[in-house]
Structure formats: structure tokens, C-alpha cells
Structure 1
Amino acid sequence: MIRRAEPNDARAIYEILSKTDDPWTMGVVESELKSDSSKAFVYVDETSAVGGFVDIKILYDEADLMHIAVSEELRGQGIGAKLLAKVIEVAEGKAIALEVRKSNFKAISLYEKYDFKKESVRKNYYHGEDAAIMWRRK
């Protein structure tokens, strides 16, 4: 099930993000969960354990996908796709932008399935690795 992230989810979100290539500090996680412009959601299993996280900022007529991550043991089960679909629903037709490591072929493939297109490159964005900037404009 996907539901709105709550402040008491911060520790579980932090644990998931700490194992990614682009971790956030606990302070950033807590700040995002409190931000008025941020809309954060979690995937929870039948025991209510958090297994995935997505955060989007909606600003005027655009949205920026800030982070999407699934716990290592749950990857490959379609949870990332469900979280991405939730972001698209919440954006309500607004254009959505994101940055992704150029070497993250699995993520790029997922984004392309949801009509994101590579539009440019941000050099050395990820500590020396380029990021593809992708947009979904619908």
C-alpha cells in the first residue's frame, strides 16, 4: 500500500536512503516531511513496515521528483513503479523533472516506461558522474 509519509516514518525512510547512491541525512528527511511544497509517500507492507519512499516538490506549473528509493530486499517487485505512478497522479498533469545517474539503466528504463524523456545532461552532478535530466511533459 502507498500512503502519505508521516513524521514518524523518518527513521525508516532514512534507513532506505542511507543505502542508496544519493543518501540524505536524517535532518534532510525530517525537513522534507515538514515542507509545505513537498509531497512525500511511502510504500508499506502488510505489517506497516516502510519499504519504499518517493518525494516530489510541486512548484507552480512544474514538479520535481526529489528522490525515489526502494529497500534493497524489495527491489524488483514493482514497488518503484507504483511509487512513480503515485507521483504522476499527485502532479495532476504538471510537467515533472528528475535527475538520474547516467549509469542507472534500471531507473532510466522505468522512467522511460512512464513517458519521461532525456532532455539534457548535468555534468558531474553525482560526485563526478553525469546526471541525465529527464522530463515528463503531459
Structure 2
Amino acid sequence: MIRRAEPNDARAIYEILSKTDDSWTMGVIESELKTESSRAFVYMDEEGAVQGFVDIKILYDEADLMHIAVSEEMRGKGIGARLLAKAIEEAEGKAIALEVRMGNFKAISLYEKYDFKKESVRKNYYHGEDAAIMWRRK
């Protein structure tokens, strides 16, 4: 089940992000969940545990996909795709931008399935690794 993220989800979101190389702190997550332009959602399993997270920031006529992450044990089950579809729905037809590690082939493949296209590269964006800048313009 996907639902809007709530402030009490911050700890579970932090736990998921801490297993990635993401640097968001609890304070940043808590702040992001309160930001008016942010639309954050969680995926919950049958037991009610948060297993995935997506955050899209709506900015005027475009959107920025800030995060999408799934717990290690739930990867490969289509949760990321469902969260991405929810973020696209929330963008309401606006163009969506994102950054992704050039070496994250699974993520790039997922984004391409949802009509994101590589438009440029940010050198050394991820602590020495380049980032692909991808856009979905529909």
C-alpha cells in the first residue's frame, strides 16, 4: 500500500536511506516531510512496515524527484516502479528532473521505462561519481 508520508515515518525512512549512500539526516527528513512543495509517499508491507519511500518536490511548472528508495529485502519486487508511478501522478503532467549515479544501471533502466531521458551529466556529483541528469517531459 502506498500512502502519504507522515512525520512519524521519518525514522523508517531514515533506516532505508541509511542503507544507501544517501547523506540525509533525520533532521533533513523531518524537515522535508513538512515542506509544502514536497510530496512524500511511503510503501507499506502487509504488516504495516515502511519498505519504500519516494519524495518529489513540485516547483512551479516542473518537479524534482528528490529520492526513491526501497529497503534491501524488498528490492526487485516492483515497489520502486509503483513509487515512481505515484510520483509521476503527483507531478500532474509537469516535467520531472532527477539525478542518478551513472553506474546505477537498474535505476536508469527503471527511469527509462517511465520515459525519462538522459539530457546531461554532472561531473563528480556523487563524491567522485558522475550523475546522469534525466528528464521526463510530457
TM-score normalized by the length of structure 2: 0.99
Structure 2 unaligned spans of 5+: none
Pairwise CA distance, 1:23? 3.3
State how far apart, in whole Å, the 2-side matches of 1:28 and 1:126 are.
18
TM-score (norm: length of structure 1): 0.99
Name the structure 2 match of 1:127: 127
How many residues are aligned here? 138
Instruction: Give 1:26 deviation, angstroms.
Output: 0.5
Structure 1 residue ranges, 4+ long, deviating more than 4 angstroms after superposition: none
How far off its partner does 1:13 sit? 0.2
Identity of aligned residues (%): 88
The root-mean-square deviation of aligned C-alpha atoms, in Å, is 0.5
The residue that corresponds to 1:23 in the other structure is 23
Q: Deviations over 1:55-91 (max 9, x none)?
A: 0000000000000000000000000000000001000
* Counterpart position of 2:9: 9
Which amino acid is the alignment partner of residue 20 of structure 2?
A: T
Q: Deviations over 1:21-64 (max 9, x none)?
A: 22311111101101011000000011110000000000000000
d(CA) in 1 for partners of 2:94 and 2:59? 10
Task: Read off the aligned partner of 1:70 and give its amino acid letter.
Answer: V
Looking at structure 2, the residues matched to 97 and 12 of structure 1 have their Cα atoms a distance apart, in angstroms, of 25
Per-residue displacement from partner, 1:82-136 (whole Å, max 9, x unpaired)?
0000001000000000000000000000000000000000111000000000000
